[in-house]
Structures are given as structure tokens and as C-alpha cells.
A and B are shown apart, each in its own frame.
Chain A
Amino acid sequence: MKQLWLTAKLDIVESLRARWFQIYTLVFGGIVALLFVFGLTESRVLGFIGLSRLLVTYIQLTMAILPIFVLITTVRSVAGDREAGVYEYLLSLPVSLVAWFWGKILGRYIVIFLPVFGAMVLAVLIALVRDIEVPWEMFVYYTALLAVMAACFLGIGMLISALARSTDMAQGAAFVVWLTLLLFLDLILLGVMIQGKISPELAVTIALANPLQVFRTAALALFDPQLIVLGPSAYVILDMFSVTGYKIFALVYPTIVGLGAATLGYQLFRRGDLP
């Protein structure tokens, strides 16, 4: 446990000094600031106004940015450290591989989740100062959704880092993974379905297997409980899960994907050449 925390601390300090972290924090803090500056809390969409409107927009933007940010920065720093000889030296110290790998994940998780969460907290603080009502239930669920999203893509990033032997290859693979998930979002699947190329059941199954789509649908479900925007697919999803069931699924399934990917990554890391 001591080794795990030491490694996590090491990764946190390394990340805090890295440029990507400064840009990352600036992006998410900036999004919230900009949403307030442009008066989003005063606009109304589907009956949503105030902070809930801002949070809906924030999570939609975060869903677009966070996965690729987490994937690229994770594979860049992990594969980059290996290429630069950091692993050669630090893994010559008596640290267990399990503590090293999971400690790195823990440290990185803290570093990628805190700015995103911090931006949410910032939004709430501004709302409180401006006497805007805070939708606490939405805040808690969105926070959980962001936490799960970060864990999911961090796990995938660590798996890619364990597989790829160079930074270039790792970055390329991360980009391809992100593009593939993007390709199987509802809008594209809907198009394919309309053309009659795949059955609706298959399209819905693919959508449910895609963590990016799972987050998107869960975020939609908060302000559109009947999932009207999804069209006929909504019937399948709601019949299968119900709204509450789907909200739970959206937290559990990506966590399993992230943990599964990280565990596979660890097994590959443990059995292969370390530096």
C-alpha cells in the first residue's frame, strides 16, 4: 500500500509539472467560465434554465473533449516515459509491479478527474454567489458520470500504453480508438439504420456497448427522461432498463470496461519487457 501511494504521489507531482495538465485544467475551467460569461444560465432549452442548463452543456462538451484528452495524455506520458528511460531507472528500484502500475493509474486518475470536478464545483460556487438554484441531484449524478468516464478512458489508455512500444504508435492507437467510438455514436448508427444496412437491435446493441454513447444517453436522460431525441431506440433502452436502471447501467458498465482494460493492461505489462 505504501508503494502504491508513493507511486501515485510520484505520478501526481510529475503530471502537475507537465504542460498538458496546465492546458487540461485551463480548458475545463475555461469552459465553465465561458458558459457563465455568455449568460448560459439565463437561456432556456427544453424547460431547463439556470445551473442545470449550464451543467447539461458542460457535460456535453466534456464528453466531447475528456475521452480524447485522457487517452492522448495518458499514452503520451506513459509510453513517453518508457521511451525516455524513466522506467529503466524507476523500475530498478524495489517497487512491485502491481504497486507501480496501479499506483500510476491512481495518481493519474486523481490528476485527470480533479480539474473536471473542480470546474463543476466552480460552477456551483458561482451559482451560489449569484443566488442561482443548484440542482444537487443533477450535480451528484453528473459528477459520478464524469468520474466513471475518466476511469473508463484512463483504463483504455493504460491498456494502449501497455500494448504500444513507442509513443507514436500509442498516440496513433489512442486516436483510432477514439475515432471508432465516435463512429458508432447514435447519429451515425441512426443513418446506417435508416439505410437498412443493419437491424435496429444490432444498432442499439452497438450503441449500448459504446461507452461514449452510454455517457451521451445517460446525460440526455437527465433532461429528457423519455429519451425522445433518440427516436425509436428509446423504446428498446427504456423497455430493457427503465430510466433509473439505465442511469445505473451508465455508471457500472463503463467502470467495468475501464477496470477490465486496465487489468488486461497490467497483465500485459507484468508479462512483457518493462522499459
Chain B
Amino acid sequence: MIRFSKLAKSFRKTRVLDDISLEIGLAERVALIGSNGAGKTTLIRCLLGEYTFAGEVSINGSDPRKERIAVLGSIGFVPQQPPPLKMPVAQLIDFSAALCSTEPANIHQIAQRLGLDLAPILTRPFVKLSGGMKQKLLIAIALGRDAKVLVMDEPAANLDPEARKIFFELLAERQDDVTMLISSHRLNEVSALVNRVIEMDMGKVVLDDRVADDVSLSGRFACRITIKRIEPAFAKAMLNWKFRDLGGGMEWEGVVPGPDRLRFMGMTSRYVALINDFSLSEVGDGALCVPEIPLRGQATAI
């Protein structure tokens, strides 16, 4: 579906992409990782037809540079840095919807699911929104249309845990007929979202690996944590993940979205000296509350 053939790009004398050849098929979910300057953004911009380049890039056989409307009409893009647009939110939605041949109502609906109520902010300039609101709106614009390819640069970086969970659900709904290219500096941010990892360094592909994950994008884990003593910072972190306090701040219970479990465990690892007991067990797709099941002793291999 997406094909890069001997792709090369230089800025003056600096070679930023060096002879990249890749094929990404339908429904593949690819993590594009690498440090700053590895060439991830340049690769994405070539795919979006924004850069001139040597070699070939095609999406379903079409050149994104020469057939912009056809190609970009099927790509939903979420940038890492929200653009500083002064236009009101309503106009951005209308502009995007008109260009992408979709209804603004679809964008509103996705934003609503992500926890962003658009009605009170429709007249506010986009640039004045908070980081999280901007990110949710850009995701809503990308997902609120019939995109066959989703290109996302650190898409969940500014989202709170609840919005991340819904974002994973939205991706899960599209995973069978949409190709996803998710760029990130760190693999642990996106590892659970993808089934293929491409690592770039100095403009070259240094790793192209397929990964298997038994947990689906909509999978959930029931989690219970007991700590040795009350710690306000830990309590704040737990509340942020929407956990329930079961006993004076010593025992906590909640649900962790499957794709976010690595990130959750990364967060809890900061309090490892404090944790007395930790259990995490899969509760299946779509469960919205913590089931009344014994939790200990069922820890799933992560």
C-alpha cells in the first residue's frame, strides 16, 4: 500500500534520508522510532508530498506530490507540534471537513468521544487552546473522515490517561482497514499500538521488525496495588489514572488500557520501593468497569 523506493533527501550537503526502501501493507501498524535527527519527520513529509526527494514514494500506486488531492484525501495526519493557527476552532473544523469531503459532525463526534466538548470553544482561536485540547482536536480531524492511512507524530503525548484509552479504542475500531504510521522518540510510548517497528538512525532504516502482541488495542487490564505507607504523590498519580482508593490511600484499584500498560508500569516503577502488592490481569475487550474477580496471582506476561 505504502511504498518507499530508494528514497533520498538532502538539505544542502546534509543527507537526511539515505536510500530508504520500505513497503507497508494494508492494516499494518508501524512504529517509526529513532532519536532526534534520525529522519522520521522528513520521511513523513515525503510521504505527505511536502518535500521534494530522489527516489519514489507512492500510496496505492499514486504519487503524493503529483496526485495530492487523491493521496492526501486518504491520509489522516496528526503532527507532533500543533500549528499556531489563529483561526477559530469552528473554522478549522469546517475548513478541514470541506477539504476532506466529510461532515463537521463526524469530527465533533470523535472530539466528544475523546472528552473534548467543542460547543464552548468553537469561537476560540485554535492557538489559545491547551496542549491537550489541541491534540484531541487534531486527532478528531484526522479520524473524523474516511482515512485509509493514519500518519501520527507522537499522537498521544499530550493526552490524559482517559483520553489515551479512548484514542486506543478509536484506533482499534479502524485497525483492520487502516494502515497506521506512528512516529515516536521512544518505543515504549507506542509499542502496544503497533505490530511492526521501524527504527531509523542517521537517515537509514536500522531495524525493521514485526512484533506480536496478544493484547488487542481495545484490551483492558484490571489492576490492584497495595502500598506500604501513604504517599500523596502516588495517590495523585493513581487518581490521574482514574483508580479508586479502597482503603485510606493504601490500596488502589482500577482499569488500565491494554496498549497503555507499559506506560502505566513505567509510572508505577517510580514507586517500586513503596509497592507491597501489585496485580494486573486481562479482563478482555470493551469492559468498562473493574470486574469482581480475584486479582492476585493472575498476572499476565507483559
**CA gap between A201 and B239 in the complex, in Å:** 83
- Asked if A88 meets B45 with Cβ closer than 8 Å, knowing A6-B99, A273-B50, the reply is yes
Task: Assess A89 versus B99: contact at CB under 8 Å? Given A17-B125, A96-B68, A96-B69.
Answer: no
Q: How far is the CA of A3 from the CA of B73 in the complex (A)?
A: 13
> Does residue A94 face the partner (Cβ distance < 8 Å to B)?
yes
- Taking a contact as CB atoms closer than 8 A, the residue among B50, B86, B87 that contacts A92 in the complex is B50
For residue B96, CB closer than 8 A to chain A, the reply is: yes
> Smallest distance from the beta carbon of A270 to chain B beta carbons, Å?
10
Q: B45 CB to closest chain A CB, in angstroms?
A: 6
Q: List 13 A–B pairs whose Cβ atoms lie within 8 Å, in order of A's numbering.
A: A6-B95, A6-B98, A10-B87, A85-B79, A85-B84, A92-B50, A92-B72, A94-B69, A95-B68, A274-B50, A274-B51, A275-B50, A275-B51
Cβ of A93 and Cβ of B84 under 8 Å apart?
no
Which residue of A84, A85, A86, A93 contacts B99 across the interface (Cβ within 8 Å)? A93
Q: Which of A3, A13, A18, A85 is B83 in contact with, Cβ under 8 Å?
A: A85
CA–CA, A70 to B95, complex, Å? 26
Q: State whether A10 touches B52 (Cβ < 8 A).
A: no
Question: Which of A85, A92, A274: most chain B CB closer than 10 A?
Answer: A92
**Shortest beta-carbon distance from B73 to chain A in Å:** 4
Q: Which residue of B lies closest to A89 (CB)?
A: B83
CA A18 – CA B125 in complex, angstroms? 11
B85 at the interface (CB under 8 A from A): yes
Query: Would you call B88 and A13 a contact (CB within 8 A)?
Result: yes
For residue A87, which residues in chain B have a CB less than 8 angstroms away from its CB?
A: 50
- Distance in angstroms from A17 CB to nearest chain B CB is 4
8 cross-chain pairs, A with B, having the tightest CB-CB distances, nearest first: A94-B72, A92-B77, A94-B73, A89-B83, A17-B86, A274-B50, A86-B83, A93-B99
Most buried by B among A17, A94, A275: A94
Complex contact B52–A95 (CB within 8 A): no
CB pair B72–A93 under 8 Å, yes or no, is yes
Pairwise interchain contact B83-A88, C-beta atoms closer than 8 A? yes
- B133 interface residue (CB < 8 Å to A): no
Give the A-binding residues of B (Cβ under 8 A).
45, 48-52, 68-73, 75, 77, 79, 81-88, 91, 95-96, 98-100, 125, 138, 151
B85 touches A93 (CB 8 A): no
For the complex, what is the distance from the CA of A13 to the CA of B127, rounded to whole Å?
A: 13
Query: CB-nearest residue of chain A relative to B72?
Result: A94
B151 partner residues in chain A, CB cutoff 8 A? 92
Nearest CB on A from B81, distance (A) = 5
Chain B: minimal CB distance from A188 (Å): 38
Query: Would you call A88 and B87 a contact (CB within 8 A)?
Result: no
Q: Does A169 contact B (CB under 8 A)?
A: no
Task: Give residues in A with beta carbon < 8 Å to B.
Answer: 2-3, 6, 9-10, 13-14, 17-18, 84-97, 271-275
Other CB < 8 Å A-B pairs besides A13-B86, A88-B50, 18 of them? Answer: A6-B98, A9-B95, A10-B87, A17-B86, A85-B81, A89-B85, A92-B77, A92-B151, A93-B72, A93-B95, A93-B96, A93-B99, A94-B72, A95-B72, A96-B68, A272-B52, A273-B51, A273-B52
A211 to B99, CA, bound (A): 38
Given contacts A14-B86, A97-B68, A272-B52, contact A89 B79 (CB under 8 A): yes
Give min CB distance, B288 to chain A, whole Å: 34
B95 — which chain A residues lie within 8 A by C-beta?
A: 6, 9-10, 93
Q: A3 touching B45 by the CB < 8 A rule?
A: no
Complex Cα–Cα for A94 and B62 (A): 14
Q: In the assembled complex, which residues on chain A have CB atoms less than 8 Å from the CB atom of B87? A: 10, 13-14, 17
* List of B residues within 8 angstroms of A18 by Cβ: 86
- Cα distance A84–B68 when bound, in Å? 22
Knowing A2-B98, A91-B50, A92-B50 touch, does A86 contact B85 (C-beta < 8 A)?
A: yes
Residues in A with CB closer than 8 Å to B77 are: 89, 92
Q: Which residues of chain B are near A89, meaning CB under 8 Å? A: 77, 79, 82-83, 85, 138
Contact B73 A271 (CB under 8 A): no
Task: Name which of A9, A89, A90, A274 has the most chain B CB atoms within 10 A of its CB.
Answer: A89
Minimum distance in angstroms from A224 CB to a CB of chain B: 45
